[in-house]
Structure formats: C-alpha cells, structure tokens
Amino acid sequence: MCGIVGYIGKKNTKEILLSGLKELEYRGYDSAGIAVLSGDDFSSFKAVGKLINLEEKTKNFTTDSFAIGIGHTRWATHGKPTELNAHPHIGESSYVVHNGIIENYAQIKKELENDGIKFLSQTDTEVIIHLFEKKLKTTTNAFEAFKKTIEDLEGAYAILLVTKNEPKTIFFAKNGSPMLIGINEENEKYFASSDSPLIGQCNKVNYFDDGDYGYVTEDTINVYNSAHKLKKLNLLELSTNKLLAQKDGFRFFMEKEIYEQSSVISDTLMGRLSDDEILFDELDKSFFDDINEIKLCACGTSYHSALTASYMFERYSKIRCSVEVASEFRYRKPLMDKDTLFIVISQSGETADTLETLKMAKEAGLKTLVVCNVDNSSMVRLADACILTRAGIEKGVASTKAFATQVVVFWMLNLYIAKQKKTLSSQEISKQISLLREVPSSVKVKDTTHEKIKRLSKRYLYGHGFFFIGRDVFYPLALEGALKLKEISYLHAEGYPSGEMKHGPIALADPELFTIALLPKNMLYEKAKSNIEELSARDSTICAISATEFDKADDHIMISSYDNYMLEFFEMMVVLQLLSLEISVRLGNDVDMPRNLAKSVTVE
Ligand code: AGP
C-alpha cells in the first residue's frame, strides 16, 4: 500500500515531508521520494529501500521560506522497486505522486508514446504527469488541464500534483484510494494517505470522498465532487493516538487486514479483467506452452492457497497438478520433469524452505513462477516470472489478506490458461470473470456477522480441541481456518476432509470436541451434510457455516446465498478469520504478534 504526503506552508518542507513518510512506513514500501517547489526552485529526490536512504540524499537540501511539497512511499505493483519507478514522477515542469492503480494506463501510455513522449519508468503512474502536460498545452490553466487529466483516468487513485506553472498550488484527486487534508491555526495545509502523519500537526481534517478533486493554495482549499460542483469541507476533529490511527481505528492490524480484504482484492483484480479474458502484463503469452504438469510448493497459509489452486488447475485448466510442503519437498530427492511448471507461493518471498525448493527447480531446469506479495524479494528475483498479489503490507503475523489475494490470483491464472488452452468455453470464462468481480463484495465484513461471532466465541474457549471440516476446496479452507485458530488462540485445531472423519477421528466425538463445519450450498452439500450428521449423532458440538439453517448444528453462522461455491469460499474465509480473532481476543492473546511465531520464517 503506497503512502502519500503533501505540505503547503512556511516550515522546513523537506523535514515535514520526510517525517510524514516515516509515519506511513507501517504501510510497507520499497522506495520513496519527495518533490519541493520553493519560488522558482524545483527539487526532487528519490531513493530505493528505506527512508534513511532518502534522508541521506536530501541531507544538504533545505527550505526556510514558503514552499509546497509532495512525498511518496511506493509499494511496487507495476514495475520493479527502482529509483526510476519511485515517485514523484517528473514531466517537463511538473511532478506527481499516486497511490492506487490506473487501470487504463497501457492505452494512455501507447497514445502518449505515439505523440513522441519518452517514458522513463515501468509504472502506471507516469502516464498521469505526461497526460497532464499534454493537456496543459491546450488549456487555459493548470487546473483545467488537471481536471481533464483526471477525467481520462480509470481505476483507483489518490493523486498529488505540483507544477512550475502554478508554483504555489497543489492539485489533488481521490478515487478508491484513501487521502485526507489537514489544517491548523498556522494556516498550513497537510495531505496524507491516512491520518497518522497529521497527528500533532493539524487539529482538523477532511477525508476526501471518491470523485473529489481540486486544488489547494496557501489561502484556499477548493474541492469539487464528481459532478464538478464545488463542495464544502467536512472538517472533523483529528484523533491523537498514532498507533490507533495506523490501525485505522481497528483493535489489531489483523482485524484491519480482514476488513480491508475487499479493497485489497479490488487492487489484485485491477487492470487484469476484461469482460472475456484475464490480462497478465507480467506473463509472456507463450509462458504455458509445453507445460503438461504443474507443481505447487509453499509453506503454511501459502500451502493452503496452493492446495486450493490445485483443484482449479485440474478443474479449469485441465493440467495435472500436485502440491508440496516445501520443507518436505526439499529433502525428498524428488523427480522433476522439464515439462513441469514449478510454482512457489509466498507472501514474503523470503521463506527459507520455499526459496530452497525454487532453487532446486531451477537447477533441475524447470520453468518457474512465483505468486508473491513483496516485489524484489528473493523469490521474485529468482523465478522466471512473478505475479504480485498486491495485498499491501501484511503486518498481522497470522496471514489473512495475503491468502485471499493468492486464491484470487490463482482463480484468474486458471481462467487465463483455460482461455489459451480452450479448456473452458468463452461463455464459461466470461461467467467466471463476472463472479471474480463479485469477490470484493463477498469478503466485505457484515456487522451482524462479526457481532454474532463475537458473542459465539465465548462458547469455544475450552474443550479438547477443534476439527475444521470441509470438502473439495473447502478442505484447504478448513486447514486454513484451523491454522488461524492455532496461531493466535493457541488452542489445538485440525483441518480435515469431511469424508475422512469416519476413518478414525470420529472416535474423538463428544460434547467437548468442537467441529466447525463448512457447508457450502454449491459444492457436495448433501455429502458434507451427512458427514456432519454422523458427528452430531455422536454429540459432538457443531458450528455450521452455511447459507441455509442446519438443524443438526448447535451453532450456526449464516453466510449469504450465492450460486457459486467460490463466493461461498471467500465469505466463509472471512468468518473463519473473525472466529479465530474473537476467540484469541477472549483468551487475552496478542493477536498481531502471537507467541513463538515470526512473520517471515527465513530459517529452516
Ligand atoms: C500464516 O498465517 C503463517 N504466518 C505462516 O504459516 C506463513 O503462511 C508461512 O510461514 C509462509 O509464509 P510466506 O507466505 O511468506 O512464504
């Protein structure tokens, strides 16, 4: 998740921008930059890596009079983390910083290149500054040019733009990515992606709405809505708790990350869906030629998304698929054939076991792909190709949005392959693309569901353990639900195929054994139902998660009714995440930093 700051005032603009970016470090980034306009002086600095590198580059730069400035921390989505790809992006006389994804950037870029514009970076953002300067040539003033630029953009954005043509003005636009403006008694103006950089600097803030755009000078703030009507500011008191601000008011980063899955999955999908096909800029069209088998390899939660993907590869892409636990695979002296595509899945891109298996596959001459959340990580640098999940930084040790975005990427990837190999009809592909577009709403947390889970969780604090059971893709989801609970509540839980309970585990059934049963309407409902009835008949305490009431369950968490099992999958995923969260809260555990765990296991 990128971070944006802006400032108009008489203080040391560089220091204000850098300290604002420091407050946004929690959002995760791999490069940063600032641009400062003071009178006729236009300075810009960019650096890869941590902010200390940018501080080093700017140590001899200062401003001691009125100036305007913009700053940015970048989390790579299009293009590697390099200085050229870092923001601000520069035109002939302007700078821009942007958070979000410009969905139609490729088409705009092509038109601008046809006009002879030379692009320096691989980013989508750079099209904004060149489009603005193209419009500047045919409009009466900078604001008109900015307004026309915004009208041409599709996708999610929070934009700050400065130009020598209006050296005392910051132009802004917000749609889909967060941004706010803060003011204080010293007549200073502060912009930021979230309120933590403004705490201590401002006492009132205005959170921009989608479609808002406008311009700010030392004395005026002009905000227009999407209907181009001037609108009044909605000034609110600013909170004073920085950590709470970084958690956006949630109790834990994990809770925040569960709630932001909807917007994050929209980012994952952004620019990759047309009505009848999936677009992966990062893959050559021939990437899957000569591939007859796929082997997936990962650890922990990423292993569960790999298991989920394996059902899709055989169901949609009709490619034989196997899944390996990395720590087992690396010591097994496995057979590896050159027509096998080796895919590693990793949120961090640094997990030692998974990284080693990637090296083994490359040494064996296999084609490799990584599905990862951190650009420029070891696995991204090593694999032949990479698909980024765009989940933004995941601070909770217990993975949530990373898992969700991995599954979304694999669903898209299978439709991409199915189109190429014609293993699904065009109609089926279009239908599934429409379903993909519904995923963000299927993971939106319903207050009633969260409240129900908060109340229900008190019943599941003590017992001799949990079974999470499911069939088909709901089996890896059951594994994931069990892992979430173990990780943050320290209660024992097992994920199990529903159909396997009768082969031994049912001997454990009694009222102290809690079974969380995934009961999708659209996937083997009757089979799963009868497995649960077997447990209920032996007095196991059952919590059913389904779209329909189930009289044999002691508890029931209702989900919405869908016509497709994958939308049930995503809504049940959120229920399982919240259930583990609320049980952990009741047990008084550190949800974000559970005992014995690390966010990235870079050792064996
Ligand atoms: C998931 O909640 C855990 N934090 C852990 O299992 C994690 O998924 C595993 O260590 C793999 O990490 P990676 O995705 O960064 O490779």
Q: How far is the CA of 347 from the centre of ligand 1 (A)?
A: 7
Give, for ligand 1, the residue of 399, 490, 590 to mutate: max count of ligand atoms closer than 8 Å to Cβ.
Answer: 399
Q: At what angle do helices 401-421 and 426-442 cross, to 10 degrees?
A: 170
376 pLDDT tier (thresholds 50, 70, 90):
confident
Which segment of 219-223, 352-356, 374-378, 414-418 scores lowest on mean pLDDT? 374-378
Mean pLDDT of the chain: 94
- Ligand 1 atom at minimum distance from 298 CA: 16
Supply the residue whose CA is at minimum distance from atom 3 of ligand 1. 398
CA of 226 to the centre of ligand 1 (A): 41
Q: How far does residue 599's CA lie from ligand 1's centre (Å)?
A: 7
- Whether residue 596 is contained in a domain is answered as no
Residue 423, domain member (yes or no):
yes
Q: 252, 258, 297, 299: which to mutate for ligand 1, most atoms within 8 A of CB?
A: 299
The type of residue at 302 is S
Specify if 515 maps to a domain.
Answer: yes
| Residue of 2, 299, 372, 386 marked active site | 2
Q: What is the mean pLDDT of residues 109-135?
A: 96
Query: Separation of 468 CA from ligand 1 center, angstroms?
Result: 19
Active site residue 147: no
Which residue range forms the structural domain that includes residue 501? 445-586
How far is Cα 411 from Cα 255, in angstroms, rounded to an integer? 25
50, part of any domain: yes
Distance in angstroms (rounded) separating the CA atoms of residues 167 and 36:
10
Question: By C-alpha distance, which of 16, 24, 187 is closest to 99?
Answer: 24
pLDDT digits 0-9 by tens, 242-295: 777 788 889 999 999 999 999 999 999 999 999 999 999 899 999 999 999 999
Same domain, 304 and 239: no
pLDDT at 589: 93
- Kindly tell me if the per-residue pLDDT of 195 is higher than 90: no
Tell whether omega for the bond before 520 is within 30 degrees of 0, i.e. cis.
Answer: no
Beta-carbon contacts of 533 under 8 Å, excluding residues fewer than 6 positions away, are 552
Output 317 or 242, whichever has higher pLDDT.
317
Shortest-distance Cα residue to atom 9 of ligand 1? 300
Same domain? For 402 and 305 the reply is: yes
In this structure, the answer to whether residues 305 and 196 fall within a common structural domain is no
Considering the domain architecture, whether residues 430 and 493 belong to the same structural domain is answered as no
Which one of 439, 459, 486 terminates a domain? 439
Pocket of ligand 1 (CB under 6 A): 299-302, 346-348, 351, 354, 397-399, 487, 600-601
Q: Specify the higher pLDDT residue, 602 or 558.
A: 558
- How confident is the model over 332-361, as a mean pLDDT? 95
Q: Ligand 1 pocket test: pick from 350, 573, 601, 602 the residue with the most ligand atoms within 8 Å of its Cβ.
A: 601
Containing 15, the helix (H) or strand (E) segment is helix 13-23
φ/ψ of 517, rounded to 5, equals -105, 120
In the predicted structure, residue 25 carries a pLDDT above the cut 90: no
User: Are 115 and 166 members of one domain?
Assistant: yes
Same domain, 512 and 431: no
Whether 26 has a pLDDT exceeding 90, the answer reads no
Residues 230 and 261 in one domain: no
- Half-sphere exposure for 300 (CA within 13 Å, toward CB): 22
Residue 26: phi and psi, rounded to 5, are: -65, -20
Query: What is the predicted pLDDT for the residue at 108?
Result: 97
Residues of the chain with pLDDT > 90, as a percent, come to: 87
Which one from 362, 446, 552, 599 is the annotated catalytic residue? 599
Q: Cα–Cα distance between 562 and 546 in angstroms, integer?
A: 11
Sign of the alpha-carbon torsion through 139, 142, 144, 149: positive
- Which CATH number fits the domain that encloses residue 59? 3.60.20.10
In a domain, residue 388? The reply is yes
* Residue bearing the CA closest to ligand 1, atom 4: 398
**Burial of 230 by CB count in 10 Å (0-12 exposed, 13-18 middle, 19+ buried)?**
exposed
**Does 421 lie in the same domain as 317?**
yes
Predicted confidence (pLDDT) at residue 1 exceeds the cutoff of 80: no
3-state secondary structure of 499: helix
Range of lowest pLDDT (251-260, 349-358, 545-554, 593-602): 593-602
In a domain, 600, yes or no: no
- Give the Cα separation of 108 and 98 in Å (integer): 16
Are 259 and 386 members of one domain?
Answer: yes
Of the three residues 212, 246, 280, the one that is the final residue of a domain is 246
118 catalytic residue (yes or no):
no
Strand 67-74: give its sheet, edge to edge. 41-48, 31-38, 67-74, 3-9, 189-192, 180-183, 204-207, 236-237
Distance 351 CA to ligand 1 centre (A): 8
C-alpha to C-alpha distance for 443 and 24, rounded to whole angstroms: 26
According to the model, what pLDDT value does residue 109 have?
Answer: 96
> How much distance in Å is there from the Cα of 413 to the middle of ligand 1?
21
Say yes or no to pLDDT of 319 above 90.
yes
**What is the structure's pLDDT at 86?**
95
Question: 592 in a domain, yes or no?
Answer: no
Does the pLDDT value for residue 499 go beyond 90? Answer: yes
67 with 207, same domain: the answer is yes
pLDDT cut 70: percent of the chain above it? 100
What the block records as the tokens of 471 is 């069939």
Number of structural domains (the chain) is 3
Predicted confidence band of residue 77 (pLDDT cuts 50, 70, 90): confident
Tokens of 538: 């032996």
Helix residue ranges per DSSP H, 230-329 = 242-246, 253-259, 261-269, 300-315, 326-329
Domain boundary among the residues 395, 413, 439 is at 439
pLDDT score, position 204: 94
What CATH number corresponds to the domain at position 392? 3.40.50.10490
| Region of poorest pLDDT, from 75-89, 315-329, 551-565 | 75-89
pTM (2 decimals)? 0.85
Identify the weakest region by mean pLDDT among 53-62, 69-78, 135-144: 69-78
pLDDT, tens digit, for every residue of 400-442?
999 999 999 999 999 999 999 999 999 999 999 999 999 999 9
What is the model's pLDDT at position 325?
A: 98
Indicate whether 564 pLDDT > 80. Answer: yes
pLDDT of residue 238: 86
Answer yes or no: is 601 within a domain.
no
Verify that 11 and 46 share a domain, yes or no. Answer: yes
First to last CA, the chain: 29
pLDDT digits (tens, 9 = 90+) for 135-174: 999 998 999 999 999 999 999 999 999 999 999 999 999 9
Residues 424 and 540 in one domain: no
pLDDT at 460: 95
